Amino acid sequence: MLLVDDHAVVREGYRRLLESRPDLTIVGEAATAREAFEQYRLLAPDVLVLDLGLPDMGGVELIRRLVQRDAGVRILVFTMHREPIFATQALRAGALGYVTKSSPPEVMVGAVYQVAARRQVISPDIAPDLAFALLEPSGGAAEELSPREFEILRLLLDGCSAEDIGTRLFITAKTVQNCHYQIKAKLGVRSDIELTRAAIRLGLI
């Protein structure tokens, strides 16, 4: 198993919890998306436990890239984000599981076994909200955002420039600008102020 979280103390907590089970072994850790991608390539872990809030690249974009490299990758997202749009985007990008950090420890451990068996799992605390969001999508066209557009939106909301986003995602600033336009079109907004208001409604801010 590979643990990906930018906080060493949190990773140590995961390690102690998971390695208390005799059949679970941590083969590596990573604090950034780049480290995670390289560690996955070198170690080929059975399961990757991933936080979405990484300093260099968002977790959703990392999931997308890992799936592009290996369609059989088994990813469990373990995150503080409870908003349905985060779960929707992570699962759409290719994650098999989504568990919040407010879940009891046994939920997280059980989810690891489920993902290892290639079964999808959602933590009980967000499952009803996620089901409701899928049936009655309050975000409207927000559900149409691709994983890359979702990550670019998050970085824009963090105040990153097109050049900075391009550097993080290994794309050109022009591509970022085009995606910025497409995001506004999909969300039905015309200005960045309206975009911010839409992001607040979606729980992204």
CATH code for the domain of 186: 1.10.10.10
Q: State whether residue 31 is helix, strand or coil.
A: coil
- Domain coverage including residue 178: 140-202
Same domain, 150 and 127: no
Are residues 29 and 6 in contact, defined by beta-carbon separation less than 8 angstroms? Answer: no
Q: Into how many domains does the chain fold?
A: 2
For residues 29 and 97, membership in a common domain is answered with yes
31 and 124 within one domain: yes
Asked if residue 83 and residue 123 are part of one domain, the reply reads: yes
- 3-class DSSP assignment, residue 103: coil
Same domain flag for 22 and 51: yes
Q: What is the pLDDT of residue 178?
A: 94
Q: Is 18:109 a contact under the CB 8 Å cutoff?
A: yes
Euclidean distance between CA atoms 9 and 49, whole angstroms: 15
- Whole-number pLDDT of residue 135: 59
What pLDDT score was predicted for residue 168?
87
Contact 36, 50 (CB under 8 A): yes
| Last residue of one domain, picked from the residues 112, 135, 158 | 135
Alpha helices in the chain (DSSP H): 8-19, 33-43, 59-69, 84-93, 105-116, 127-135, 147-157, 162-169, 173-187, 192-202
- The reported pLDDT for the residue numbered 147 is 85
Sign of the torsion angle spanned by Cα atoms 163, 169, 170, 173: negative
Vertex 5 angle, CA 160 and 131, to 5°:
85
Q: Quick one: pLDDT at residue 133? A: 63
Last residue of a domain, one of 135, 158, 174: 135
Q: What is the pLDDT of residues 57-66, one digit of tens each?
A: 889 999 999 9
Q: Bridge-partner residues for 73, per DSSP?
A: none
Number of residues that this document lists for the chain: 205
Last residue in a domain, options 111, 135, 159: 135
- What is the model's pLDDT at position 142? 63
171 and 115 fall within a common domain: no
The CATH number covering residue 58 comes to 3.40.50.2300
Task: Write phi, then psi, for 191 (nearest 5 degrees).
Answer: -130, 165
Residues 11, 85, single domain; the answer is yes
Mark whether 128 and 198 lie in a shared domain: no
175 and 128 both lie in a single domain: no
8/32 same-domain check: yes
Q: How confident is the model at residue 76, as a pLDDT? A: 98
Can you give the pTM of this predicted structure?
0.81
The parts of the chain modelled with pLDDT lower than 70 are 132-143
Do 164 and 130 belong together in one domain?
Answer: no
Specify the pLDDT at position 136. 58
